Amino acid sequence: MSMREEMRKHLAEGIVPFWQNLEDEENGGFYGYMGPDLAVDKKAEKGCILNSRILWFFSNAAMSLEDKNLLKDAEHAYRFMMDYCMDKEYGGVYWSVSYDGKPEDTTKHIYNQAFAVYALSSYFDASGDVEALQTAFELFNIIEEKGFDEGGYKEALDRTFAPAENDKLSENGVMADRTMNTLLHVFEAYTELYRVSKDERVKTKLLWILETFRNKIYNPKLHRQEVFFDNDMNSIIDLHSYGHDIETAWLLDRGLDVIGDKEYAKEWDAIVADLIAQVYKVAYYNNSFSNECERGVVDKKRVWWVQAEAVVGFFNEYQKHPDHKEYLDAAFNIWGFIKEFVIDKRNGSEWFMHVDDKGAPETDKPIVEPWKCPYHNGRMCMEIMRRTK
């Protein structure tokens, strides 16, 4: 069986039915937590990022698998988003709601707004529902009016869009005013919104973000991105996030492809190649991919989403530069590691959250929680299917 066939089978027979089984028919949306013992907590909070990513997933799975029945699952997520995740009074998307849809964490994080734009744009593409596209543009306007200033994109805001502490996207002992991660996913969301709308306002912002990556995020001396920043975009920690670098590499290419300016895209080839070459050198071993390096100390755990993004990132770079067969080999080998160690073979499960560099799982980690979703692994399957037709 080819890699493409394996990915299609895993998507259709593994990831899709797993998430279908988590649909909450009583309260809407999808159950927000499955523990390491595979027990579902039907009264756990429902993260709005998780719901957005599920909406994105089923919308794209319906198109990739050419299965219109999956639009029913996408619509289930869409209705929950529109009915419960949206703040009808102040606008925007909550961080989380209770199991029965009551506002729980009313933070309006720009990262979260971006994922809703991403999901709604894809749902419009799959379903033709104009309301979804209109809502995506409402959120685009909120991001630009409430979440952007002369320094760039903001992070956490409270329910009324006043500044709040960015504890949700700050890690590694720092509290960041701005992050590479939020900027990346605003770019990802706007790429999808521009793809389905061709709105020039969105294109203008995509170009602004690209130049910010070039001038503020990318560190050519260290061959990496910086991760956490103060308000003036000064890096505040020595951190190399391997997973984000390889995800960024192919998402930049995706955005440039959607923009469609081939000469401009050529300017980015060296930057993307540099990011990929460095992570191949320092993060890829044992047929898998390390997590990050903080202040010179490598975190060797194999995180589920990092493995998925590494497959796409290496495959994407090989497609651009077929002379680099080592990247194709890396993509195949990491997929092999995923099949053997990261996919949880227990009946009723999906992927482990973490395994070590030899493949042993961390058995105390949940299978589903607000960040653990079908977005990275589902997208890996769909991207390889799309690229190997």
Question: Which positions ≥6 away from 379 have C-beta within 8 Å?
Answer: 57, 60, 308, 312
Do you know the residue count of the chain?
389
How is residue 34 written in tokens? Answer: 């499955």
Nearest alpha-carbon partner for 86 in 65, 101, 67, 64: 101
Q: 323-346: per-residue pLDDT in tens?
A: 999 999 999 999 999 999 999 999
Domain edges within the chain:
3-387
* Higher per-residue pLDDT: 237 or 389: 237
**Bridge partners for 179 per DSSP:** 228
| Residue 226 pLDDT level (bands cut at 50, 70, 90) | very high
Q: Where are the alpha helices (DSSP H) in 45-165?
A: 48-64, 70-80, 110-127, 130-146
pTM above 0.95, yes or no: yes
| Residue 389 pLDDT level (bands cut at 50, 70, 90) | confident
Dist. CA 137–CA 197, nearest whole Å:
10
Nearest alpha-carbon partner for 110 in 205, 30, 23, 18: 205
Q: 154-207: per-residue pLDDT in tens?
A: 999 999 999 999 999 988 899 999 999 999 999 999 999 999 999 999 999 999
User: Around 324, how many Cα atoms within 13 Å sit in the side-chain half-sphere?
Assistant: 16
Nearest alpha-carbon partner for 227 in 273, 177, 193: 177
Q: 261-319: per-residue pLDDT in tens?
A: 999 999 999 999 999 999 999 999 999 999 999 999 999 999 999 999 999 999 999 99
Q: Does domain 3-387 have CATH number 1.50.10.10?
A: yes
What's the mean pLDDT in 376-380? 98
